[in-house]
Amino acid sequence: MEHRQARVLARGITHNVVVSGPVDGPPVLMIHGNCSSADFWLPLLRRLPPNLRVVAPDLRGYGGTDAAPVDATRGLRDFADDVAALLDDRSLFETGARPVVVAHSMGCGVAMQLLVDHPGRFSALLLEAPLSPYGFGGTRDLDGTPTTADFAGTGAGTANPDFVARLAAKDRDGAEPTSPRTVMRTAYVADPASLGADEELLLDTVLSTVIGDDNYPGTFSTSENWPGVGPGDRGVLNTMAPNHFRIADDLVAVATKPHITWVRGEVDAIVSDTSLFDLSYLGSLGVVPGWPGADASPPQPMTGQTRAVLAGYAAGGGSYREVLYDGCGHSPHLERPAEFAAELVELLT
């Protein structure tokens, strides 16, 4: 499926957008995740029918889109509002288009926000390894109860500083465990061989991440609670902190409920009940010292939370289906591309 790069001005920001297919084709909106860009979808695009109208924007601060500041107090709404403005651009979609939304990881949180803020605009959602509707880290149960009053252990302060420095330096080496290449090989997928000939392209998407207090990872606060840091009000990682992003109730209550297909990998290292990016889980493994124990700081049940919220969504008149790929990690569209493409095509029929 051939594609092109478009430059679109919306909300005062110049967005870079991957576009493919005829403007009157069945519409698909793709939203990438954290530390990547729209080009992360290119391996999937090659497997899709050429008649589809695919629009995949780079979110602000990623790829070729302007690095506009991210106000984390709005949760993921800065990203969602940008994407909503692109929905109304007639060079991208026909008037009244109701696309299938395909989203990955953090992008799924953006998609959830779009669904809540713009009901009736979408025909279906395909959520790949979605961020929990209760945010990332810092909650203890299926109801999203905060672990501490100040949401310690979430937000930008949880980022590995060496990884951030290597991102800023555009480090392409794979020798160190904190290098972007190594993180992509070990956390984005279960088997690095699944990256194949696209590895350099995909690494480019990771390295496109703009570094700074207003973008990735953002600002942080100190905390008297373990592990000593809490979320700030600016930048990407704080948009997903549970004090800023908590959309579960709104998602269940939304009046117009398109079908949701939830796709996840069995051995996802990033979004799971045993996430290697959740400081509480790392503390339970002894990787982060001083962990106060499971009663005080249990690992976040990310998968269980998503399942419980989607069950409430279905009970309220919606529908969802959970698809699990054995032996698959955080990026099923790279690791199981044929099956993932089939799930998308099914939603268009």
Q: Which tens digits make up the pLDDT trace of 88-100?
A: 999 999 999 999 9
CB of 218 within 8 A of CB of 142?
A: no
Question: Residue 349: which pLDDT band, with cuts at 50, 70 and 90?
Answer: confident
CB of 228 within 8 A of CB of 289?
A: no
Q: How many domains does the chain have?
A: 1
97 belongs to a structural domain: yes
Average pLDDT, the chain: 97
Q: Is pLDDT of 179 > 80?
A: yes
Residue 276 and residue 278: Cα distance in Å, rounded? 6
What confidence score (pLDDT) does residue 223 get? 97
- In terms of DSSP bridges, do strands 124-128 and 259-265 run parallel, antiparallel, or are they unpaired? parallel
- Output the domain CATH number for residue 252: 3.40.50.1820
302 belongs to a structural domain: yes
Report pLDDT digits (tens) over 5-34: 999 999 999 999 999 999 999 999 999 999
pTM for the whole structure: 0.98
Q: Is pLDDT of 1 > 80?
A: no
Residue 113 and residue 108: Cα distance in Å, rounded? 9
List all residues 6 or more positions away from 231 whose beta carbon is below 8 Å from its beta carbon.
Answer: 72, 151, 154, 155, 156, 157, 220, 221, 237, 238, 241, 243, 244
Report pLDDT digits (tens) over 208-223: 999 999 999 999 999 9
Report pLDDT digits (tens) over 135-170: 999 999 999 999 999 999 999 999 999 999 999 999
Residue 99 and residue 213: Cα distance in Å, rounded? 33
Residue 85's domain comprises 4-151+245-348
CB of 62 within 8 A of CB of 15?
A: no
340 belongs to a structural domain: yes
326 belongs to a structural domain: yes
- Say what percent of the chain tops pLDDT 90: 99
223 belongs to a structural domain: no
72 belongs to a structural domain: yes
187 belongs to a structural domain: no
40 belongs to a structural domain: yes
What confidence score (pLDDT) does residue 2 get? 87
